[in-house]
Amino acid sequence: MTAGEVSPREESRLETNDVQTLISEIAIRERGKELAQEIGKDYDGQPLTIVGVLTGSLVFLADLTRQLSIPHRIGVLQASSYRGATTVPGSLHVSLDLAPDLEGRHVLLLDDILDTGQTLSTLVEEVKRLGPLSVRTVVLLRKLGRQAVPLEPDYCGFEIPDVFVVGYGLDYNDEFRHLPFLAGLDPEDIARHCRR
């Protein structure tokens, strides 16, 4: 290894030291149970498909689907707006190639975080074109003071302040998704990380 390179050991230290817990693993699990109960009651006896938005919602989808006691299908679609080492959203790229057949199904569109609202409102319109019986939304997080597009999520896990969040599926430059809790990334740490 040459001077200036970051060793794998230093990389992992960076991951755990530079984040501050925002929402604990236990709090996520408890809130997940409540959401599952609410959703289970609302869709009882209905043909439900939960469609997660790749990649950030994967962990939330995996947990919620197992906490839900009613029969349902799951699927995914792709949307990406944050690319590379930046926290500034780029243009939205949507792909429905992986989406399951939604005709005759009630769709619950599941995303990790509602920020400006652009992603979810675009996806709702796209999914409607696939012929579902209805489309509703569930988000794990909603960032307060950021929304630019009017959309009221039907189910929301937590409202959070305007910080960049990682963990529990959410990433910074494809890192941190594996953390079992939600954490805020300090902008100074982001800048330092970019310089490496």
> Which two tokens mark 6?
């970051």
User: Pick from 171, 184, 32: which is nearest to 110 by CA?
Assistant: 32
**Binding to ligand XMP by residue 118, rule CB under 6 A?**
yes
- Give the whole-angstrom CA distance, residue 92 versus residue 122: 9
114 binds ligand XMP (CB under 6 A): yes
Q: Minimal distance in Å, beta carbon 130 to ligand XMP?
A: 19
Output 64 or 166, the one with its CB closest to ligand XMP: 166
Q: Among residues 44, 12, 42, 52, which one has the least CA distance to residue 169?
A: 52
Which residues in the chain belong to E strands, given as ranges?
19-23, 48-54, 73-80, 93-95, 106-114, 134-143, 155-160, 164-166, 182-185
Size of the residue set binding ligand XMP (CB under 6 A): 19
Is residue 111 at the binding interface for ligand XMP, with CB under 6 A as the rule? Answer: yes
- In angstroms, the CA 160 to CA 114 distance is 10
Residue 159 has which token pair? 């409202």
Candidates 23-31, 70-78, 106-114, 130-138: pick the segment binding ligand XMP (CB under 6 A). 106-114
Active site residues: 115
- By CB under 6 A, is residue 137 in contact with ligand XMP? no
C-beta of 102 vs 114, nearer to ligand XMP: 114
Between β-strands 134-143 and 155-160, what pairing exists: parallel, antiparallel or unpaired? parallel
- Please tell me whether residue 56 binds ligand XMP under the rule CB under 6 A: yes
Q: State yes or no: residue 15 binds ligand XMP (CB under 6 A).
A: no
Q: Give the span between the Cα atoms of 47 and 26, in whole angstroms.
A: 30
Out of 23, 61, 170, 183, the only residue in the binding site for ligand XMP (CB under 6 A) is 170
Is there binding between residue 126 and ligand XMP (CB under 6 A)?
no
132 binds ligand XMP (CB under 6 A): no
Member of 14, 47, 54, 164 binding ligand XMP (CB under 6 A): 164
Residues that bind ligand XMP (CB under 6 A): 53, 56, 81-82, 89, 111-119, 164-166, 170-171
